[in-house]
Chains A and B, each alone.
Chain A
Amino acid sequence: MNVVITPAMVGQVVISGILAGALYSLVALGLALIFGVMRVINIAHGPLLMLGAYTTFFLYDLFGLNPYLSIPVTMAALFVVGVVLQRTLVFRVVDAPELSSLLLTFGISIGLVNLAQLAFTSDLRAVEYLTGSFPLGPFAVSKPRLVAFVFAAGVTGLAFLFLQRSRVGKAIRATSQSREVAMVCGIDVGRIHMLTFGLATALAAAGGALIAVIVAIQPEMGQIWTFKSFLVIVLGGAGNYPGALLGGMLLGLIEQMASLFLTTQLSEVVAYVLLVVVLLVRPTGLLGGRQI
């Protein structure tokens, strides 16, 4: 392709990248929490996001609830789903080899997708609340994406405040640093695992609620988010929570940049090559170390 790249195009790409990046950070923070605390890669993270999107859709469709106001409701509902999943299934594989947890969460994942197909059908749904874009200088800014950026940044900020300041948040960080020492300090690790899974699921749900306004909702919308979130936590450094923020922004920018030069299909390839290179060159992520 012979495309002339103008500064305006680059600016547009940076804006889109940052707007998308905040959503990536929000969703990936959940995956990073589960991985950091339990060493489990939750393949069902994306499908849980899908459930969040459906919750927002039905609240909007049946009760006319503003999709942005529904975020706390959606988060609370999926928090419960997360706690139940951890309590019934996931806790059994916390100390098992990674194959067990990968397969188990994959099993949960296709179970959730199939249930969604049965319950909601595969029809595309949309929350037509906010559409179009507005001009900002020479750039066009998508309205739902800008609002999603603001809310994603807000929810992520609150989550960080919770992790930094609250007793439970400190206990979660302590558990992810060293489970044994956390136990010695009197932290009920089983309960922390449960809360972490619930919190992580709630973060995915918040992402789902915001995405519901942007793209079509269907049972298989979630899977891609699992892989993207994993990419984000690898970029930022697994178990490094501020790293998830940086990783999300980076992934957003890289994807948009790649789409400028390449087709969308190849931008996936770029993201993959990046994943492998980062894993090989800096397995601890770009921020390095485990600064939790």
Chain B
Amino acid sequence: MFGTGYGVRAMLQIFMWIALAGSWNLISGLTGYVSFGHVAFFGAGAYTGAILVAKAGWPWLAAALAGGVGACAVALVIGYPCLRLKGPYFAIAMLGLNEVLRALVSYFEGLTGGGSGLSLPTLHATVPIYYAMAATAAGVTLLTYAIITSRFGLRLMTIREDELAAEAMGIDTARHKLYAFLISAVGPGIAGALAARDQGYIEPISVFPLAMTITMIVMVLFGGKGTVWGPVLGAVVLFVAQELVWARFPYVHQLLFGAIIVGVVLLMPRGVLGILQLRYRLPRTI
């Protein structure tokens, strides 16, 4: 199966989801700030990369890195004010950000092609892009491990447990949250630029779908939020499940997705690894 066109494409998707879910975990799993529009960074990276390739003739790898930078820049502009918002307000502000980016991209037609989308020159490089996506997924996972085992990570988790107490202990919470937010935007930015290059065509509705944010959240919740391997586990299991099961029932696909969300939230809010950690006293750095 691997080595064939389908195998490479499926693995490319799995790596993309690992990078996305892992990045969401970095901000929301560690600090507890629910980014309900994280796909905005995927879209920002996709458009940054696609514009550089299509209009400036950049090589795809450089454009992918620029996609990460572009997403990071958006995160800086938005995170600085919005990370002061607490609880549901932050979640909704992020949801709105996604809608706004989509509206802006549709509006600036000269640069982005507007609603009719942006086509990239043909390039047969699925295998190199596949390796780049694998590297992104590995990078996000390694970074998560590095952060969770560091003082920085401990401070982020302190913010999650009790932000007031964290501040009282002298943690500069605003700065820590912002750093975590910036880091969490890079992975989706690169992944977005790579996915755009691979697909060769992007349009506003294909790179800013709310369902994608929800999918990454559910993957993390399923695997276990705040853990290193939870997002990887969730991404692999849910992606495979989607390919095997959901694709066979196209009409009730959304309904099944809704049922899975409800099921994960109600039945296993800690996720697989969270439950195992609790039951078998596994290390926090799993």
A114 touches B252 (CB 8 A): yes
Stretch at the interface among A75-83, A159-167, A169-177, A275-283: A275-283
Interface string of A256-281 (1 = CB under 8 A from B): 00000001011011001001100110
Closest to B34 in A: A99
Interface string of A234-248 (1 = CB under 8 A from B): 100000000000000
A230 within 8 A of B: yes
* Nearest CB on A from B115, distance (A): 9
Q: For B252, what are the chain A residues with a Cβ–Cβ distance below 8 Å?
A: 114, 118
Closest to B99 in A: A268
Closest to A230 in B: B92
A96 touches B269 (CB 8 A): yes
Contacting A at CB under 8 A, from B206-261, are 211, 214, 217-218, 221, 251-255, 257-261
A93 touches B96 (CB 8 A): no
How big is chain B's contact interface, by range? 35 or more
Q: A279-B89, A280-B84 are in contact. Are A227 and B265 (CB under 8 A)?
A: no
Interface string of B66-104 (1 = CB under 8 A from A): 000000000000000110110111011101110110011
B107 touches A265 (CB 8 A): yes
CA of A280 to CA of B253, assembled, Å: 39
CA of A96 to CA of B270, assembled, Å: 12
Q: For B254, what are the chain A residues with a Cβ–Cβ distance below 8 Å?
A: 110-111, 113-114, 117
Size of the A side of the interface (Cβ < 8 Å), in residues, is 39
CA of A227 to CA of B106, assembled, Å: 19
Contacts from B to A (Cβ < 8 Å)? 28, 32, 34, 36, 81-82, 84-85, 87-89, 91-93, 95-97, 99-100, 103-104, 106-107, 211, 214, 217-218, 221, 251-255, 257-262, 264-266, 269
- Nearest first, the 10 closest Cβ-Cβ pairs linking A and B are A107-B261, A111-B258, A114-B254, A107-B262, A114-B255, A107-B258, A110-B258, A272-B100, A98-B88, A272-B96
